[in-house]
Amino acid sequence: KFYAESKFEGIWRLSKLTVSVDKDPGKDFLGVSDALVEEIAKVLEFPVASMLPQEAFKVVRKSFDARKLQKEQKFVYTVDVDVPKLLNLEPRTWEFIAEMEPKVGLVEHLPHDRTPGDIMSIIHACRSQDATASEHGDQNLCNGSHANASYRKPKVAVVGSGPAGLFASLVLAEFGVDVTLMERGEAVEKRGRDIGALVVRRILQEESNFCFGEGGAGTWSDGKLVTRIGRNSGSVLAVLKTLVQFGAPQKILIDGKPHLGTDKLIPLLQNFRRYLELLGVDIKFGTRVDDLLVEDKHVVGVKVSDSRENSSPSTSQQLGYDAVVLAVGHSARDTYQMLLSHGVSLVEKDFAVGLRVEHPQELINSIQYSGLANEVQSGRGKVPVADYKVVEYVNTDGITLPSNSAPRNRSCYSFCMCPGGQVVLTSTDPSELCINGMSFSRRSSKWANAALVVTVSSKDFAALDLHGPLAGVEFQRMFERKAAAMGGGNFVVPVQTVTDFLDNKLSGTSVPSSSYRLGVKATNLRELFPSHITSSLQQSLLKFDKELPGFISSDALLHGVETRTSSPVQISRSADTYECTSLRGLYPIGEGAGYAGGIVSAAVDGMYSGFALAKSLGLFHGSI
Ligand code: FAD
């Protein structure tokens, strides 16, 4: 009787189900516990929880929200109910269920095809559809079996092996494109040794470091996979499922705040590389693209050199391609300069600068979790290591601004928070100093770090007499050089305790210990930025402390300087084709082009650009 009613078919989604920490098996258990079934029964007003079959439920999201914790101390679940699996229930049970839908408001009836597969299976499905269309003579849908013997595969160069470049390569190669993936840095094995030499012997390889090399800037990172572009969107799920195909743990599909950690990212990238090679992608490490070959305002190839040597221009090679995908990230400042020389339209973009603050992780656990802090146990406990996210709006009324044009109101926020992590050097030039944060999958270090950054725009650059499309890059460089000088060189980072920063006094020589491995030097960080940026940081620290009491502490250490939060420019491109508006045949993608901010959004941009280019090449006829 109930099966016949359409509303009892398919999948229902139940959201905002909560299970208290003492009843929940803990953060690492992603299945359906008895306590969760009890909660489902309660929400559905179904009287006997034990009658509900566990196999009818699937956890699709499990989160632990620290902000709500002090009141609730609960895990929050989203669960899909497979209604046909409930059909084995007694008719009497169905009578209860029949009444429940209007009562709860947390129940959503989902379409059957809501879950996309990984990118490979999506493309395989699409190609087999094309093949079927071809068998039926539908030439419009078909990607073409290219029976013509003279058919030559289109040749595409993808520049940069960060998430954007990797996913673009994957999609294009799956569509049968002849892809060459060029990366100025090294494969993860060699890159790991170069990073080791940096951390232990202070040798910075300018082409193989925390920003450059296989996997891009996010390889030696916290590997947070959170994104602001919609956690449940089909494109994000397709990227996450693809990462699982390459070895990421299944839990990233469920965890409300998924993260991988450097130790998980490295083998994942090796698997990704092997798969691309199986598809025929030619991967060239240690290969830097120095220039574009342009004919009639159309890119026809690239000029590359061996980045392992200080190659002279005579050793560079010219290689022809049908299209070039540019996925160089936001630290390839030489590439921006090269694009300008070809008249490519680069537009200044707002970004944010500031300092990285580091607290003892135990302090953050106790601020966020109160009595539950003991449950953390260095990442092995029942609840996750505590993190935080803060944002405040501040104004600089009363501060003398360097020019009338600098904005008085701006937002200040925490960025790239790494619980149980460490502060790392992300400079790509020894005369500059900038930092970021990374962690391993267990997030078990004794420190918690996060950037505290303030938005800056073209008005701030103009106030320092920096103009033109690369004014933001010059602005970053100015403070990176100043930070290097304040640290005294040799990659030593200038630091100050949060309390001394607020009191405007130099921290003594016995500053709290730092996770940063190349040494710290006590300085007055109020001398680093212009006064309106410093004032914004001061005001926001006071506000953050209201939200997270104890955040202002003499155990909290500010590190300078955080400048590369996102790209300072955007490279103009068509919204449909992803092709550069000022140079045909060029496809600027990912964070460096100003279309992403983070691992997942860069990967999604890479994926879409791959589909768009495959479409332009006549290999794909669906909609993107
Ligand atoms: P990138 O990852 O920057 O990749 C660009 C690649 O292009 C690089 O490998 C570079 O070597 C190569 N390249 C540049 N110029 C050339 C050239 N001329 N020729 C050939 N190759 C070139 N994001 C998150 O979402 N979560 C995190 O936890 C996180 N943590 C981070 C921690 C650190 C230490 C850093 C530095 C970044 C972190 N990020 C994090 C940001 C994230 O890494 C980036 O947003 C993301 O990697 C951008 O991807 P992309 O592919 O656009 O560019």
Write out pLDDT tens, residues 549-573: 999 999 999 999 999 999 999 999 9
Distance from residue 72's CA to the centre of ligand 1 (Å): 38
| pLDDT at residue number 141 | 39
The band of 86, judged by pLDDT with boundaries at 50, 70 and 90, is low
Considering only CA atoms, which of 570, 620, 611, 608 is closest in space to residue 163?
608
Query: What backbone torsions phi and psi does residue 591 show, to the nearest 5 degrees?
Result: -65, -40
Amino acid at 229: I
Tell whether the model's pLDDT for residue 102 goes beyond 90. no
CA distance 140 to 134: 9
For 272-312, the pLDDT digits (tens) are 999 999 999 999 999 999 999 999 999 999 999 998 866 55
The predicted pLDDT at position 377 comes to: 67
When pLDDT is cut at 50, 70 and 90, the band that residue 6 belongs to is very low
- CA-to-CA distance for 484 and 189, rounded, in angstroms? 29
Q: Are 300 and 321 in contact (CB under 8 A)?
A: yes
C-alpha to C-alpha distance for 620 and 101, rounded to whole angstroms: 42
Characterise 398 by phi-psi region: left (phi > 0), alpha (psi -120 to 50), beta (else): left
The number of the ligand 1 atom at minimal distance from the alpha carbon of 218 is 43
Q: Is 286 in the pocket of ligand 1 (CB under 6 A)?
A: no
Contact 415, 539 (CB under 8 A): no
What mean pLDDT comes out for the span 138-143? 43
pLDDT at 109: 57
Can you give the three-state secondary structure of 7-32, one letter per residue?
HHCCEEEEEEEEEECCCCCCCCCCCC
pLDDT tens digits for range 174-199: 999 999 999 999 999 999 999 999 99
| Amino acid identity, position 42 | K
Q: Looking at the predicted structure, is the pLDDT value of residue 96 above 80?
A: no
Spell out the residues 6+ positions from residue 170 whose beta carbon is closer than 8 angstroms to its own.
Answer: 119, 120, 242, 272, 275, 276, 279, 606, 607, 610
- The secondary structure of residue 486, as a DSSP letter, is H
Contact 503, 531 (CB under 8 A): no
Average pLDDT, integer, range 403-432 = 88
Q: Does the pLDDT value for residue 88 go beyond 70? A: no
Whether residue 299 contacts residue 324, with contact meaning beta carbons closer than 8 Å, is answered with yes
Contacts of 296 (CB under 8 A, 6+ apart): none
Sheet holding 323-326, edge to edge: 282-284, 178-182, 155-159, 323-326, 586-588
- The least confident of 223-237, 410-424, 477-491, 581-595 is 223-237
Q: Where are the domains of the chain?
A: 6-110, 154-223+265-346+571-616, 350-562
pLDDT reading at 221 higher than 60: yes
Average pLDDT over residues 160-184: 97
User: What is the full DSSP assignment across 279-340?
Assistant: TT-EEETTEEEEEEEEETTEEEEEEEEETTTT--GGG-EEEE-SEEEE---TT-HHHHHHHH
Segment 77-93 shows an average pLDDT of 72
Check whether 140 has a pLDDT greater than 50: no
pLDDT at position 114 is 55
Q: How confident is the model at residue 622 (pLDDT cuts 50, 70, 90)?
A: confident
Residue pointed to by tokens 């004032």: 535
Q: Is the CB of 216 under 6 A from ligand 1?
A: yes
Distance 329 CA to ligand 1 centre (A): 5
pLDDT in the model for residue 178: 98
Burial 334-358 (b: 16+ CB within 10 A, else e): ebbebbeeeebbbebbebbbbbbbb
222 lines ligand 1 (CB under 6 A): yes
Give the closest residue to 599 by CA, choosing from 293, 166, 280.
166
CB distance 2 to 98 below 8 Å: yes
pLDDT for 139 equals 43
Ligand 1 midpoint to CA 549 (Å): 34
Instruction: Establish whether residue 118 lines the binding site of ligand 1, counting it when its CB lies within 6 angstroms of any ligand atom.
Output: no
**Banded model confidence at residue 335, pLDDT cuts 50, 70, 90:** very high
**pLDDT of amino acid 125:** 82
Q: Which residues pair with 414 in a beta bridge?
A: 452
Nearest CA to ligand 1 atom 48: 591
Taken in order 593, 595, 601, 603, the sign of the CA dihedral is negative
Question: Is residue 590 in contact with ligand 1, taking CB distance under 6 Å?
Answer: yes
Give yes or no for a contact between 355 and 562, defined as CB atoms under 8 angstroms apart: yes
Neighbours of 575 (CB within 10 A): 6
237 sits in which H/E element: helix 234-245
* C-alpha 425 – ligand 1 centre gap (Å): 14
Residue type for 87, please? L
**CA atoms within a 13 Å half-sphere pointing along the CA-CB vector of 353:** 27
Output 115 or 170, whichever has higher pLDDT. Answer: 170
Backbone angles phi, psi at 533, to 5 degrees: -75, -45
Fold assignment, 154-223+265-346+571-616: FAD/NAD(P)-binding domain (3.50.50)
- Pick 607 or 92 by higher pLDDT: 607
C-alpha separations of 161 from 166, 176, 181, 208, 422 in Å: 5, 19, 7, 12, 24
Q: Give the per-residue pLDDT at 107.
A: 55
β-strands 317-320, 298-306: how paired?
antiparallel
Question: Which residues are 522's β-sheet partners?
Answer: 495
**Is the CB–ligand 1 distance for residue 195 below 6 Å?**
no
Q: CA-based Rg of the chain, rounded to a whole angstrom?
A: 26
pLDDT for 72 equals 66
Can you tell me which atom of ligand 1 is nearest the CA of 334?
Answer: 18
Predicted confidence at residue 43, as pLDDT, reads 81
Given the DSSP bridges, would you call strands 57-64 and 11-20 parallel, antiparallel or unpaired? unpaired
| Residues 612, 618, 622, 624, Cα dihedral to 10° | 0
Q: Which two tokens stand for residue 417?
A: 């928070």
In whole angstroms, give the CA distance from residue 521 to residue 488: 8
Atom of ligand 1 nearest to the CA of 338: 18
Instruction: Quote the percentage of the chain above a pLDDT of 70.
Output: 85
- Confirm or reject: Cβ of 13 under 6 Å from ligand 1: no
The pLDDT assigned to 1 comes to 35
Mean pLDDT taken over the chain: 88
The number of the ligand 1 atom at minimal distance from the alpha carbon of 436 is 34
Residue type (1 letter), 153:
K
Out of 191, 221, 222, 333, mutate this one to test ligand 1's pocket (max ligand atoms within 8 Å of CB): namely 221
Provide ipTM, 2 decimals.
Answer: 0.99
Contacts of 106 (CB under 8 A, 6+ apart): 14, 15, 16, 17, 43
Give the pLDDT of residue 611. 95
Cβ contact 372:21 at 8 Å: yes
pLDDT surpasses 90 at 245: yes
H-run or E-run covering 234:
helix 234-245
Structure tokens that stand for 270 in this block? 């090796």
pLDDT confidence of residue 2: 36
What average pLDDT does range 123-151 have in this prediction? Answer: 61
pLDDT band at 33 (very low <50, low <70, confident <90, very high): very high
**Binning pLDDT at 50, 70 and 90, where does residue 138 land?**
very low
Q: What is the mean pLDDT of residues 140-161?
A: 72
Contact 45, 104 (CB under 8 A): yes
The CA–CA distances, whole Å, from 79 to 58, 65, 273 equal 6, 17, 34
205 lines ligand 1 (CB under 6 A): no
Mean pLDDT of 241-262: 93
pLDDT at 457: 92
**169 vs 447: CA distance, rounded Å:** 37
- Return the ligand 1 atom nearest residue 424 CA: 34
Residues 357, 332 contacting (CB under 8 angstroms):
no
Distances (CA, A) of 355 to 124, 201, 352, 433, 435: 46, 25, 10, 12, 9
Amino acid identity of residue 408, one-letter, is R
- Which of 309-318, 358-367, 443-452 is predicted least confidently? 309-318
In 548-598, which ranges are continuous DSSP H helix? none
List pLDDT tens digits, range 61-76.
Answer: 999 876 655 566 789 9
Confidence of residue 5 (pLDDT cuts 50, 70, 90): very low
Q: Which residue has the higher pLDDT, 425 or 312?
A: 425
Check if the beta carbon of residue 95 is closer than 8 Å to that of residue 51.
no
Judge whether 128 and 141 are in contact, CB under 8 Å: no
Classify 623 as helix, strand or coil: coil
Least confident range from 120-124, 279-283, 483-487, 535-539: namely: 120-124
Residues 12 and 516: their CA atoms lie apart, in Å, by 48
DSSP for 514-562, please give it.
Answer: -S-TT-EEE--GGGTS-HHHHHHHHHHHHHHHHHSTT-S-TT-EEEEEE
